[in-house]
Amino acid sequence: MHTQRRRLKDTTMSEHPVHRSAADAVAIGPATSEPFDTLLHQAHAARLGMWVFLASELLLFGGFFALLTAYRFEHADGFREAVHANTKVLGSMNTLVLLTSSTCVAVAVHVFREGRRRLAGALVFTTVALGAVFLTLKMTEYGLHFHEGIFPGGHGEWFLHHDTPGLATFWTIYFVATGLHAMHVTVGMIFLGIVGRSVLNGRLPRAHAHRLELAAVYWHLVDVVWIFLWPLFYLA
């Protein structure tokens, strides 16, 4: 299905993935940016760069995972009580929205490689739309929390009649972590929107499919982070 990737995989790690033959070189086209000899080579570097960046992002959220784990040991009862008070149905719907959006963008990458440009573009923008749905639901949830009197920092009247230790901590980390995640969703939507536009109007040639892949991979990471935030904040 994706022949370019196969070829990339075959070259060993210690050597340049330079073109094997002149025919390949013509098919792949010249490099666009300075330090690389071929586009294929540049695409691999871009992909590796994105993965290294995502590794970094994972550690950013890793800080939250460490905090949540530690606080759960310290305030087991408070955290369980707070989870039960959370908007579980909305949060779970949001998980489903993100899983669907990930599927959409994965399929978009696949069909773009096959040259079905319009379908790919439509799927990318479906993903962006699902991102918007996610953010809307998230905002609704925040609204419901504020309505109940739950504000970050243990402020609000909800805390007047709920005083198990750890409740304030749970909600503050909840707001900060989901807020940071929502920022990542927004960045991912912008990124996908820009690439999606050039997919639709044909300015992104098939040989440059890696740009779409980069945006997609970023979007998947946002999804993966949410896959873990969901049980920690809503389920148990």
- Residues in region 165-184 near another protein by CB under 8 A: 165-169, 172-173, 176, 180
Instruction: Determine the Cα–Cα distance for residues 25 and 126; give it in Å rounded to an integer.
Output: 35
Q: Should residue 37 be labelled a site residue for another protein when binding is judged by CB under 8 A?
A: yes
What's the closest the beta carbon of residue 101 comes to another protein, in angstroms? Answer: 11
Instruction: Determine the Cα–Cα distance for residues 83 and 71; give it in Å rounded to an integer.
Output: 13
Q: Should residue 9 be labelled a site residue for another protein when binding is judged by CB under 8 A?
A: yes
Closer residue to another protein, CB minimum distance, 132 or 180: 180
Q: Using CB under 8 A, which of 3, 21, 22, 34 touches another protein? A: 34
Stretch touching another protein by CB under 8 A, among 21-29, 136-144, 189-197, 218-226: 218-226
Burial 153-169 (b: 16+ CB within 10 A, else e): ebebebbeebeeebbbb
Q: Which of residues 39-98 bind another protein (CB under 8 A)?
A: 41, 44-45, 47-49, 51-60, 62-67, 69-75, 78, 88, 92, 95-96
Closer residue to another protein, CB minimum distance, 64 or 134: 64
Cα–Cα nearest to 105, from 175, 188, 6, 163: 188
Q: Which of residues 187-216 bind another protein (CB under 8 A)?
A: 213, 216
Q: Which of residues 102-141 bind another protein (CB under 8 A)?
A: 102-103, 105-107, 110-111
**Residue 46: exposure state from Cβ atoms within 10 A (0-12, 13-18, ≥19):** middle
